[in-house]
Structure 1
Amino acid sequence: MLDAAAELFLAQGYGRTTLDQVSERARTGKSSLYGRYGSKEKLFAAVVTRSINDMFADLVAVPSERDRKDRLRHLGLDLVRVLLTNRCVSLMRIVAAEAATFPELATLGYRMSFEGSARVVARTLADGDDEAKVERMLPVACRFVELALQPIAFQATFGRPMDELLAKAPRDVEDAITLLIATGRLSDA
């Protein structure tokens, strides 16, 4: 059901997609669809949630033998590549377009994406899953996401060509790292 719904939302947008279409594409009854999700909004929220979770599942761990700055650079560029997939940008655009109608969904999508990105960055900076180290690195990770990833996501959402964003991403990631080091938030070790 979620695959069918995602295909339709991405192809037609939220407004033009109906639960009848999703039911037909998923080859399931409308009662099953309503029983599981209850409404188009809840179905869309499930599609967005799964898409964000899938985004983080595609990331590969950065080798721990690299220094912190190199691990952050590597992960930052991987996050940009995942963020700038057609599917991800299309979902960001749909969520942005529906934000006035469904502000809770827009907030959920933003929060999940931001917090997920920050957690991945914090784990990379902490060099593992030691929760105390990850928590200590979380403020630095949040700032990195704000500096390096959010501007790219914003530009992609509003139509800047992805090839341009990918070309400038190494400089943006490097600038964010340099700023974090210069402000004392990140050691260059």
Structure 2
Amino acid sequence: MSKPTLLCEIVASVQAKRERRKEARPSELLAAALELFVEKGFAGTRAEEIAKRAGVSKGTLFLYFGSKDELFKAVVRENISGRFPEWHAKLDSFEGSTAELVQLFMRQWWSDVGATPISAICKLMMSEASNFPELASFYQQEVITPASVLVTRILERGIARKEVKPINMKYGVYTMLAPMLFLATWRHSFGTCCEPSEQLDPEEYIATISETVLFGLSR
């Protein structure tokens, strides 16, 4: 192989690696941001810390995300709100009973969100929402409202099948949402420091809560 050909191949290889690295940067920044939001909260996290953890400059961070607020929104869309189409598709194709459906969705939420680092964002928003009303409004639109729509569909399906009694839907959705939010909040608060004997077992918790919810909703 001639030297010019070898040099061209080396240059092409370096350029390809740089392109792959460039394509990976947004996901690396999102991962670093999530880690720091979990560790320090939104207010306590600085943009330069996120850039440093992702191995880039602060200027590079702002090439991809215009502000720390935009980065936070991207983290939420990537890990939570982007999952709603998949969850609705599962609901559309499900053929079992309401009892099976409630248990499925509680376990699915725990697997996709609750048992992952992103669940700390639920706790973060509850503690910092009043200080960042614009982000609170975003979270309401991207997470809380879509979650309410999804749960409403589950309950309305149960009512139509005469497996669930008619309820005040505005507040009825929280019979399913509130227990799961509590479990996520516990995981990132008391769950980090309480004795092993006092820890909540997610599987047992979901089994008990789903049974309790269903008993309250059943006709």
TM range (shorter): 0.5 to 0.7
Q: Which amino acid aligns with 1:101?
A: N
2:45 counterpart of 1:8:
no
Q: Which residue of 2 aligns with 1:31?
A: 59
Separation in structure 1 between the aligned mates of residue 172 and residue 209 of structure 2, nearest angstrom: 10
Q: TM-score, normalised by structure 1?
A: 0.67
Q: TM-score, normalised by structure 2?
A: 0.60
Aligned length: 171
Q: Displacement of 1:102 after TM fit?
A: 0.5
- The alignment partner of 2:40 has SS state of helix
2:146 counterpart of 1:109:
no
RMSD over aligned CA atoms reads 3.4
Q: Displacement of 1:106 after TM fit?
A: 2.4
Q: Answer with 1 or 2: which has the greater Rg.
A: 2
Q: Which amino acid aligns with 2:121?
A: L
- The alignment partner of 2:130 has SS state of coil
Separation in structure 2 between the aligned mates of residue 88 and residue 8 of structure 1, nearest angstrom: 11
Q: Displacement of 1:99 after TM fit?
A: 1.4
Q: Which residue of 2 aligns with 1:177?
A: 214
CA contact (8 A) 1:10 1:87 kept: yes
Residue 146 to residue 126, structure 1, CA distance change in 2 (3 Å): closer
2:129 counterpart of 1:99:
yes
CA contact (8 A) 1:80 1:166 kept: no
Q: Displacement of 1:153 after TM fit?
A: 0.6
Separation in structure 2 between the aligned mates of residue 8 and residue 24 of structure 1, nearest angstrom: 11
Q: Which amino acid aligns with 1:107?
A: S
Q: Which amino acid aligns with 2:48?
A: D
2:17 counterpart of 1:17:
no
CA contact (8 A) 2:33 2:75 kept: yes
Separation in structure 2 between the aligned mates of residue 3 and residue 35 of structure 1, nearest angstrom: 17
Q: Displacement of 1:173 after TM fit?
A: 1.8
Give 5+ residue unaligned stretches, structure 1: 128-138, 183-189
| Aligned sequence identity (%) | 24
Give 5+ residue unaligned stretches, structure 2: 1-28, 158-166, 192-198
